[in-house]
């Protein structure tokens, strides 16, 4: 499968599995899993399992996971629909990063990082990943999060299956420009 087709299917899967399964009449279970056979039969952009496997294995962000029995697929994080990923609070590194664009920085430094229509705020363990994320939205700005102080203040952190750090919100007091 060529890279263009892989990208089209990846974006389609992100949209369907994270935001709008009902657009193709797909039902997700309470944990966000979709039956692969049902997905293929209802999706106008996916015609076989090999396409799904290629997207899952070649996606640089590892956005998707296939169940151990190979019958289901779900997005690892980034949902705007109500699902339970079964995430457990884990001990984070002392510092995490968030990449954004310059056009958002004033609002963020006024209100903090909010999950908006997603389940969590997404954070990176390294500066380079945050830079890559911020670059997708325009001229990047990297924010450093004082995680140690947040944990001390009672905030919880989670790790998605694809190693994205997640939290409910990051108040302004814990943010600085990196």
Reported as a single tens digit per residue, the pLDDT across 75-127 is 988 888 988 888 899 999 999 999 999 999 999 999 999 988 888 999 999 99
Q: How many domains does the chain have?
A: 2
> 62 and 100 share a domain?
no
Q: What is the DSSP letter of 156?
A: -
- Could you tell me the residue range of the domain that residue 40 belongs to? 3-75
Confidence bin at 68 (pLDDT 50/70/90): very high
Mean pLDDT, the chain, whole residue set: 93
Residue 84 maps to a domain: no
Q: The whole model's pTM is what?
A: 0.73
Residue 65 maps to a domain: yes
> What is the per-residue DSSP string for 18-54?
HT-GGGGTPPP-TTS-EEHHHHHHH-SS---HHHHHH
57 in Cβ contact with 142 (< 8 Å)? no
> 114 and 173 share a domain?
yes
- pLDDT score of 137: 83
Residue 67 maps to a domain: yes
- The packing angle between helices 49-58 and 3-18, to 10°, is 90
Torsion angle, alpha carbons of 164, 43, 11, 19, to 10: -60
The larger pLDDT score, comparing residue 28 to residue 82, is at 28
pLDDT tens profile 124-137:
999 999 999 899 88
> 54 and 127 share a domain?
no
> 62 and 109 share a domain?
no
> 103 and 165 share a domain?
yes
Domain-terminating residue out of 19, 40, 75: 75
> 33 and 71 share a domain?
yes
The larger pLDDT score, comparing residue 23 to residue 76, is at 23
> 173 and 99 share a domain?
yes
> 65 and 103 share a domain?
no
> 123 and 69 share a domain?
no
> 63 and 124 share a domain?
no
Confidence bin at 178 (pLDDT 50/70/90): confident
- pLDDT score of 141: 96
């Amino acid at each position: 499968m060529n890279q263009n087709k892989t990208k089209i299917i990846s974006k389609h899967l992100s949209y369907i599995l994270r935001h709008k399964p009902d657009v193709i009449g797909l039902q997700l279970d309470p944990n966000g899993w979709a039956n692969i056979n049902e997905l293929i039969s209802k999706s106008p952009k996916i015609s076989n399992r090999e396409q799904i496997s290629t997207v899952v294995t070649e996606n640089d962000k590892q956005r998707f996971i296939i169940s151990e029995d190979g019958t289901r697929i779900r997005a690892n994080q980034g949902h705007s629909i109500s699902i339970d990923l079964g995430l457990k609070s884990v001990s984070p590194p002392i510092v995490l990063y968030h990449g954004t664009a310059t056009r958002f920085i004033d609002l963020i430094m006024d209100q903090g990082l909010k999950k908006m229509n997603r389940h969590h705020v997404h954070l990176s363990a390294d500066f380079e990943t945050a830079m890559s994320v911020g670059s997708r939205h325009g001229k990047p700005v990297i924010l450093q999060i004082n995680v140690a102080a947040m944990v001390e203040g009672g905030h919880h952190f989670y790790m998605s299956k694809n190693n994205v750090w997640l939290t409910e919100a990051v108040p302004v007091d814990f943010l600085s420009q990196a």
